[in-house]
Structure 1
Amino acid sequence: MIKAVQNFFDNVKFRNKLIAITTVTAVIIGGVSIMGYEYTAKRYNSLLYDQTAISLNYISIDLSAKIQTITSLSQMLSLNKNMQENLSNYIDSPDIIKKRDARSLIIQSIYHYIDKNIESIDILLENGDLIQGGAFFQAESPEIYKKIKEECQRKQGAAVWFSSNSDDRTIFCARQIRKTSYSDFLSSLGYLIIRIDLKSILQQSSVLTENSFIYISDDSDNPIYSSDYPNKISFSVQSENNKKYEIKKSGGQTLFIVHGHLSSPSWNIRMGIPYADVFESVILAKIATILLIIVSIVLTLVLSGVCVQSITKRFDMLIFKMNRLKSGKLEVLESDNPPGQDELGLLNQYFDEMTLEFKAMIDDNYVKQMLIAQAQLKALEQQINPHFLYNTLDTIKWFAKHCGEKNIPVIVESLGSLLRNSLSQDSDVISLKKELSFVNNYLQIQKIRFPDLLNLVVDVDEWILEVKTPKMSIQPLVENAIIYSMEEIQDVYTVNIRIKDTGDTVTISVENDGSQIDENILEKLNNNSIKPTGHGIGLVNIDTRIKLIFGEKYGVSFSSFANHVIVSFSIPKSYQSN
């Protein structure tokens, strides 16, 4: 399986490989980033939940303090000596005026304790009379009063708390007023009922918002106070796993609920706020972070795609160049954009340079092949009916001998040998020994022609006579030397032929006096600065053939000094015919 996948991957295009690698890398990095963010966000949310729960619990602490204050107030009122005395006078006095005065004093005492959180303070007497003081004057139902009396009697002077059936924002703190005088000690004077605006107390907290809610119940989970949410939320006495807070969904809304408890009175408090109200910034940060990661991944893929396109574009260009070269097109493509200096740019640049060198090598080889073909064609043209020429020379030789002429047979015989050897197609290179025989045939003719004027000196190292040299490479130089030496009138014209061992090479030089030569004549002949004559063509031909056979480092050279000209060339001692 792994091998099959590897083979498949090996056959995928390089561009797709880079795209796949980049995509997988981006997805892995993005996935790890999202998981890391989720873990960090979860830890952060846990801390934030705890802090939010603590903040909401401040409401429980504040409410507990206010409840305790009201409880203390109820105790203080119920034990107040003046209050008990006035109540006794109001209950026991038969005098209506005294009753009225006692009632007024009771109401005045009540108003002394009224504040913004207390709507009213009522005193329910045993006979059913109700003394009210405060901003709220509304009697509760007989059932409520009966329940209050029963619970207060059961508590025997301790504070009890009730919710109002008529107003869900109101709760009651009630206590039995019991005599503290020695006469009738602890007998009941009535029941103190403090009506409390619980909603006003809760709204004083800066933690709650308009959408916040509070649900207060007793230990039996009977409701004592609730805001607008209780019918929409399924509350439990304890949160899941006994946590201090929980997150619930209700009516399509997610709520953050904190559980609290008051010890006195023993109340359970559930405080909640819409999750979005408090954690909106967290939610937005989470969404923004995830979007940022996604955008980063997309941007990474886009930029990677651009980079991959830039890389594979140059790969495609290189492959295109290779296919062009394979099809025989050797021209280098021109581009407006430089290839760059990175590895791919250098690879394209080196390939272009290699193509140019390859083209130059092919062009050079083509030129050489053309020169060889032209030389062969010329040789073929010169072989037109050579046997007729040889037979004619033999006839002249026989006729001269018959007439008793001594020089003509020698000239004819030397010319015949010279022509026969020059027109031979055996090989392009021959031994120096054989080449010197051509030179000797030519010199025989020139000695007869100039018997007293020509001084020929030949200096040859005998052990190098088997070294190979291009055919007809020395004779044209000797011919040129004789011709140019006679440009000035002299008594004797000297031509020196030297063939010397110079290490790995053999140097052949032909020297003549009586003339001068431009040492750069060969370069000028090649670039057409001067027009070649018949002899100039011979020098170019010899130089070209030497370079074709032995290489560019070999060739004809010229030097001139004191009315002397030396034409020379070197050939390697060892030569393998290709």
Structure 2
Amino acid sequence: MRRLFHSVTQFYRNLRIKLKLFIMLFSIMIGCIMLTYGVLQYAYSIYDRQIYERSSQVLNLTANSIENELRGIENTSFNIATDPTIQSKLNALRADPSEMNYERHKIRDDMILRLVQFAGSEKYVATADIMDLSGNIISAGREAVWTEEYKRGIWNEANEGEGGLRWMLSMQGDPYLVATRLIRSYNSNLRLDLETLGVLVVRIRMNEIVHDIAAGSELASGELLISTDKGLIFSGTDSVVGSQRDYLHTPLTHDYEVRNENGHKIFVSQMISGYTGWIYSSIIPFDTIFERISWMKNLLIAVFSASMFVIILVAFRVAQGITGPIEELIGRMKQVQKGDFSTEGIADLTVGNNLNKDEIGQLHRTFRIMIQQIDELIHENYAKQLTIKETQFKALQAQINPHFLYNTLESINWEAKMGGQVQISRMVESLGFLLRNSISQKESIVTLGQELDIIRHYLTIQQTRFEERLVFTQDVPPHFYSCPIPKLTLQPLVENAIHHALEPMVNPCHITIRAWEELDHLVVTVEDNGPGMVPEMLERVRRGEVQSKGNGIGLSNIRERIVLAFGEHYGLEIQSEPQRGTRILVHIPLERDDLHV
């Protein structure tokens, strides 16, 4: 961890000042935005929780109001079951259950009239039905489809209540909530014999109850479900049985939850009735109840995103405003490094960027004054330096000027040709070529191709002398022939290889010239397989402490001419190992024709 921190710190230190300023400003602003966003999110979470709790409170109030209505209906059902008229009529039907006559029809009509009176007093009661002991239905209101299975279910549910009201699921397709209870005889000869006389079945308009009570609350935009562990009692859909909210038959783990249903978020709050044991569940689309909150959150994200963009621009402009003049000054310094000492543009930088009074402006003025002084010194000493350089170059080149006469060589060449001595003629021609190039001082810089021609003529003479003991190989791509090189740079190196490698050897000596491109310059090598040099001798040669044999050109002379011609970045490199030969690397500029296409 410590190493990672050190690496990050080191990386930050090596960044440009502009990036450092940008990162610092950006980090500060991002920190402020994140803090603000966190505080707002915390405030929104508190607000969301208050909305959740309010929704739960609304559900509780709604459930209590619904159950108050249901208590009223329960009282009505009790009044029906204990009504003396109903009791007497059912007792009469029980006494003669099979006889069908006018009296029996009269009893049924009287019971229907009494049921209508009770049902009419209750707003939400759709029908009030009585099933006698024979299974006959006496109905006040719209008659339902009474199947034998449904009748048995009614009897079983009523028996489980033992005289109390029982709420039960309705038949398939029946939109009403069903409440049932046994009708027992309680006043026969002033005794409570509690004999069963029939079953009261009350159908309730649950949709109207919920609609009237939930109107104006958050539940009006959602859905209310009432369920038990046996199934769904009420749903906002047309049929209480056709709802898909079966997972709400059991209580939630919390009073409210946010769930995903069919790709949409829903808010579910829940409470369990202490009166009926029913589970009341409120289902509200999340987007409905939190539409404004979601809109505010989206707006907040959009504002923060726009702020991020503006912050990036501001941080970049601030950093650029501070580091821009410094970068411009660095650019001018690089031009000076390349040899451009003109002061054009430096004064404009100072005025154009209003840097006359701050520290960067002082840097510009000081740099401009320094460049002006350097430029004056260069102009004053330029001619003198050129004269000195030319004198040094000619003095170095004068060391290799031979003093042979062309006329004498021509005479020897003609005598050899007339005598049929072709080999002597070829040697004389090569020697003449070498002398012309040595004596001519018109061009101190030649091409690599011209230098290789000099070596070829030189080796023509030497191969005549050493024959098969001298093996020469050249591996220089033709596209490097146009590269510049000081005259007589490679020929002295080949001559040194002959003196120090070939002459002491008995076996054939291989001398090879190669060339390749390396980075932005050209490397030309002259190497041999001679005896090489021990490390002490190699170090002395590199320091220039070893003089060349005879009147030959030393390595220091070649190195100085390369430096004078092309600068300190170019020169010679010497590599050698005992019994493994010597290699001289010449570093010169890379200026070939295909680079200018």
TM category (shorter chain) comes to: 0.5 to 0.7
Counterpart of 1:165? 171
Q: Are 2:277 and 1:266 equivalent residues in the alignment?
A: yes
Counterpart of 1:237? 250
1:91–1:99 contact (8 Å) kept in structure 2: no
Q: Are 2:162 and 1:156 equivalent residues in the alignment?
A: yes
Q: State the shift of 1:239 in Å.
A: 1.6
Counterpart of 2:305? 294
Letter in 2 for 1:224: I
2:18–2:320 contact (8 Å) kept in structure 1: yes
Question: In structure 2, the residue corresponding to 1:25 is in which secondary structure?
Answer: helix
2:135–2:151 contact (8 Å) kept in structure 1: no
1:330–1:355 contact (8 Å) kept in structure 2: no
State the distance in 2 between where 1:257 and 1:277 align.
13
Question: In structure 1, the residue corresponding to 2:275 is in which secondary structure?
Answer: coil
Counterpart of 2:124? 117
Counterpart of 1:11? 14
Q: State the shift of 1:301 in Å.
A: 0.8
1:131 to 117, 138, 141: 138
Letter in 2 for 1:126: L
Counterpart of 1:347? 359
Are residues 356 and 151 of structure 1, via their aligned partners in 2, closer, same or farther at CA, if it must alter by over 3 Å?
A: closer
Q: Are 2:112 and 1:107 equivalent residues in the alignment?
A: yes
State the distance in 2 between where 1:149 and 1:284 align.
55
Are residues 306 and 191 of structure 1, via their aligned partners in 2, closer, same or farther at CA, if it must alter by over 3 Å?
A: same
Q: State the shift of 1:322 in Å.
A: 6.2
Question: In structure 1, the residue corresponding to 2:284 is in which secondary structure?
Answer: strand
Counterpart of 2:146? 140
State the distance in 2 between where 1:151 and 1:236 align.
20
Q: TM-score of the superposition, structure 2-length normalised?
A: 0.53
1:68–1:264 contact (8 Å) kept in structure 2: no
Question: In structure 2, the residue corresponding to 1:104 is in which secondary structure?
Answer: helix
Question: In structure 1, the residue corresponding to 2:348 is in which secondary structure?
Answer: coil
1:472-551 residue pairs with structure 2 within 5 A?
A: none
Counterpart of 1:192? 200
Residues 56-113 of structure 1 show CA distances to partners (whole Å, capped at 9, x for unaligned) of: 2333212211111111110122122333344445655889444444433322332233
Residues 502-561 of structure 1 show CA distances to partners (whole Å, capped at 9, x for unaligned) of: xxxxxxxxxxxxxxxxxxxxxxxxxxxxxxxxxxxxxxxxxxxxxxxxxxxxxxxxxxxx
Letter in 1 for 2:125: I
Are residues 358 and 54 of structure 1, via their aligned partners in 2, closer, same or farther at CA, if it must alter by over 3 Å?
A: same
2:223–2:283 contact (8 Å) kept in structure 1: yes
Question: In structure 2, the residue corresponding to 1:180 is in which secondary structure?
Answer: coil
Are residues 188 and 337 of structure 1, via their aligned partners in 2, closer, same or farther at CA, if it must alter by over 3 Å?
A: farther
Counterpart of 2:60? 57
Percent of aligned positions that are identical: 18
Are residues 336 and 110 of structure 1, via their aligned partners in 2, closer, same or farther at CA, if it must alter by over 3 Å?
A: farther
State the distance in 2 between where 1:101 and 1:38 align.
73
1:334 to 328, 343, 348: 348
Question: In structure 1, the residue corresponding to 2:204 is in which secondary structure?
Answer: strand
Letter in 2 for 1:179: S
State the distance in 2 between where 1:249 and 1:308 align.
47
1:285 to 287, 292, 296: 296
2:231–2:246 contact (8 Å) kept in structure 1: no
2:115–2:140 contact (8 Å) kept in structure 1: yes
Letter in 2 for 1:248: R
Are residues 99 and 210 of structure 1, via their aligned partners in 2, closer, same or farther at CA, if it must alter by over 3 Å?
A: farther
Rg larger in structure: 1
- Bigger mean CA offset, 279-288 vs 169-178: 279-288
Counterpart of 1:70? 73
Letter in 2 for 1:235: L
State the distance in 2 between where 1:298 and 1:247 align.
34
State the distance in 2 between where 1:76 and 1:96 align.
29
Counterpart of 1:456? none
Could you tell me which runs of 5 or more consecutive residues in structure 2 were left unpaired when the two chains were aligned.
Answer: 378-597
Q: State the shift of 1:132 in Å.
A: 0.8
Q: State the shift of 1:129 in Å.
A: 1.9
1:260–1:268 contact (8 Å) kept in structure 2: yes
Counterpart of 1:180? 186
Letter in 2 for 1:278: I
2:342–2:375 contact (8 Å) kept in structure 1: no
State the distance in 1 between where 2:9 and 2:154 align.
86
Counterpart of 1:410? none
State the distance in 1 between where 2:10 and 2:219 align.
66
Q: State the shift of 1:41 in Å.
A: 3.0
State the distance in 2 between where 1:36 and 1:330 align.
56
2:223–2:235 contact (8 Å) kept in structure 1: no
Q: State the shift of 1:133 in Å.
A: 0.8
1:245-256 residue pairs with structure 2 within 5 A?
A: 245-256=256-267
1:84–1:179 contact (8 Å) kept in structure 2: yes
Counterpart of 2:50? 47
Question: In structure 2, the residue corresponding to 1:73 is in which secondary structure?
Answer: helix
Q: State the shift of 1:328 in Å.
A: 4.4
Q: State the shift of 1:122 in Å.
A: 0.5
Residues 363-400 of structure 1 show CA distances to partners (whole Å, capped at 9, x for unaligned) of: 999xxxxxxxxxxxxxxxxxxxxxxxxxxxxxxxxxxx
State the distance in 2 between where 1:335 and 1:71 align.
96
State the distance in 2 between where 1:98 and 1:356 align.
131
Letter in 2 for 1:118: V
State the distance in 1 between where 2:326 and 2:290 align.
53
Letter in 2 for 1:174: T
Q: Are 2:24 and 1:21 equivalent residues in the alignment?
A: yes
State the distance in 2 between where 1:53 and 1:270 align.
10
Are residues 363 and 306 of structure 1, via their aligned partners in 2, closer, same or farther at CA, if it must alter by over 3 Å?
A: closer
Are residues 345 and 200 of structure 1, via their aligned partners in 2, closer, same or farther at CA, if it must alter by over 3 Å?
A: farther
Could you tell me which runs of 5 or more consecutive residues in structure 1 were left unpaired when the two chains were aligned.
Answer: 366-578
State the distance in 2 between where 1:166 and 1:146 align.
15
Counterpart of 2:498? none
Are residues 56 and 336 of structure 1, via their aligned partners in 2, closer, same or farther at CA, if it must alter by over 3 Å?
A: farther
2:341–2:374 contact (8 Å) kept in structure 1: no
State the distance in 2 between where 1:29 and 1:251 align.
39
Q: CA RMSD in A?
A: 3.7
Are residues 86 and 10 of structure 1, via their aligned partners in 2, closer, same or farther at CA, if it must alter by over 3 Å?
A: same
1:163–1:170 contact (8 Å) kept in structure 2: no
Letter in 1 for 2:52: Y
- Bigger mean CA offset, 169-178 vs 24-33: 24-33
Letter in 2 for 1:64: E
Q: State the shift of 1:357 in Å.
A: 7.6
Are residues 129 and 168 of structure 1, via their aligned partners in 2, closer, same or farther at CA, if it must alter by over 3 Å?
A: closer
Q: State the shift of 1:324 in Å.
A: 7.6
State the distance in 2 between where 1:265 and 1:352 align.
90
Counterpart of 1:559? none
Question: In structure 2, the residue corresponding to 1:333 is in which secondary structure?
Answer: helix
Counterpart of 2:234? 225
Residues 546-578 of structure 1 show CA distances to partners (whole Å, capped at 9, x for unaligned) of: xxxxxxxxxxxxxxxxxxxxxxxxxxxxxxxxx
State the distance in 2 between where 1:27 and 1:61 align.
50
Q: State the shift of 1:356 in Å.
A: 8.2
Letter in 2 for 1:106: M
